[in-house]
Amino acid sequence: MTLIASRVDSDIERLISQLQQLIRVPSVSAKKQLTLTKCAELVSKIMSDCGITSELLKLDDTLDRNSEQVSPIVYGEVKSKSNPNGRTILFYNHYDVQPAEPIELWHDDPFSGKIDGNFICGRGASDDKGELITRIKAVEYFLKETGDVPCNVKFLVEGEEEIGSSHLEQYLTKYRNKFSCDGIIWEFGYVDEHERPIISLGMKGLLCVEVHAKCANVDLHSSLAALVENPAWRLVHALKTIRDENGKINIKNWNSDIRDFTPEELECIRQEEFDISSFKKNYGLDHVFNEDDLQEAKKANVGGVTSNISGLFSGYIGEGSKTVLPSTAMAKLDFRLVPDMMPQKQFQLLREHLDNNDFQDIQLKFVSGEPACRIPIDDNFVKLVEASAREEYGQVVKSVSSAGTGPMWYFNNILRCPCVSIGCTFKYSRIHSPNEFVRIDLLKKTTKCMGNIIEKFGNTAANN
């Protein structure tokens, strides 16, 4: 049991009230609200009140003058007095939140932080203000209990996570020395319906593109379809060559850079639970890819590539009919990438694929790209986090990667150390949806778990 366990229980009211303060400052990054900076200042103040040295970091003053708003990063640090040359842990979190809309579906004001029994409700209650507070308080409790922290601790709390962490790479590069560390605890971590924390060791990458087809220089009368090609058909034909009906991508060399799963990773995937029939029932599906081969389906979920059409537009889509032959057609595509694919290279392969299939006229636009990251399952830091979680939760679940995308690659690549996801977010806590909540019992357990991690990390030799 961690040194701080009893303080977590006796001080829980203060943790809750500080979390409520955070929820009450709406920090919706999508709306570029002024309250974003106010929220950053509040995070910094809470850190200072908890004994953590804190400051706001900016990217570039000239950017501010040019009115391009870049949210500040809140940086926090506590050096261990007894172990200053020991290891350093970095907590990555974010203070921005998703928009609360549709407001009418909330039972209460989304920014009230209202308590209802074991639940604290509000936008950001779990994602990510709840996660953040468990980490700040774990550090505070060590300082109060022992006057010191077992290992050096750093915080990086950004304000643009919910809009794609667009300046994080620049921040990490600029402040690389300040952020230097030996292990990173990722911003989120789920707890499943059996009360087991899910330790997740990776994130998929992402390539987002636009595909444009253009034929005539203006929209035409559709009788001219006897003579003139339709860009929507042109686009459909081009898209059809990219992926087959079973989801397999048909672009030459697309999978060349994929890193194979290790035997340990395959075993971890085998042990993960996935109930295909309840998944189908939940989403009203009568078929999912690879449903006859459970292991293949699970492998695809955590480590498979995808090609998804996220938007299609051309012609007239209003009421009734309009016999128009449109002049343009456009599709938005996203491709999930896995280690070690690089977005720019995959984009080039897509371009070559279209050219080689006589679609040189189709225009491609690179919208955004992020590489994937996967931390080796036998890394010592992974083992330490697992042991720490086991002490609080009993059982834990390990997952080789989340199916989603996040900026883990930048941390891993720039700071050169492992990242592990572990946290307090109940799987069904409605993050990004109306009536988001966090469970108070999980806030307590997770704060204790963070205490275990800090303690064990302090006990590891720096050269280990």
Taking the complex as a whole, how short is the minimal distance between the CB of residue 70 and Zn ion, in angstroms? 19
Minimum CB–partner distance for residue 402 and Zn ion (Å): 12
- 206 and 337 Cβ atoms separated by less than 8 Å: yes
Interaction residues for Zn ion, span 125-164 (CB under 5 A): 127
Beta-carbon count within 10 A of 461 CB: 7
Task: Copy the structure tokens of residue 463.
Answer: 């050269």
DSSP 239-305: HHTTB-TTS-B-STTTTTTPPPPPHHHHHHHHHS---HHHHHHHHT-S--TTTT-HHHHHHHHHH--
The interface mask with Zn ion, positions 109-128, x = CB under 5 A, is ------------------x-
Residue whose C-beta lies closest to Zn ion: 127
- Min dist CB 162 to Zn ion, Å, is 5
Closer residue to Zn ion, CB minimum distance, 290 or 433? 433
Judged by CB, which is closer to Zn ion: 127, or 334? Answer: 127
Q: How many residues bind Zn ion (CB under 5 A)?
A: 1
Minimal distance, residue 272 CB to Zn ion, in Å: 22
Tell whether residue 436 is a contact of Zn ion (CB under 5 A): no
CB 421 within 8 A of CB 188: yes
Strand order in the sheet with 437-439: 115-116, 119-121, 437-439
Q: Least Å distance between CB 98 and Zn ion?
A: 6
Peptide bond into 340 cis (omega under 30): yes
Closer residue to Zn ion, CB minimum distance, 71 or 307: 71
Shortest spacing between CB 96 and Zn ion, in angstroms: 9
- Three-class SS state of 73: strand
CB of 217 to Zn ion, least distance (A): 43
In degrees, rounded to 5, the angle at the alpha carbon of residue 404 between the alpha carbons of residues 401 and 405 is 100
**CA-CA distance, 44 to 47, in Å (whole number)?**
5
Q: Is 173 exposed, middle or buried (0-12, 13-18, 19+ CB in 10 A)?
A: exposed
Q: In this complex, which beta carbon is closest to Zn ion, that of residue 127 or of residue 160?
A: 127
4 vs 125, beta carbon nearer Zn ion? 125
Choose between 78 and 156: whose C-beta lies nearer to Zn ion: 156
Q: Which is nearer to Zn ion, 205 or 458 (CB)?
A: 205
Distance CA 45, CA 18 (A): 11
What is the nearest approach in angstroms of Zn ion to the Cβ of residue 431? 6
Rank residues 95 and 381 by Cβ distance to Zn ion and give the closer one: 95
Separation in Å, CA 432 to CA 29, 109, 123: 13, 15, 8
Residue type, 103: I
Query: Which residues bind to Zn ion, rule: CB under 5 A?
Result: 127
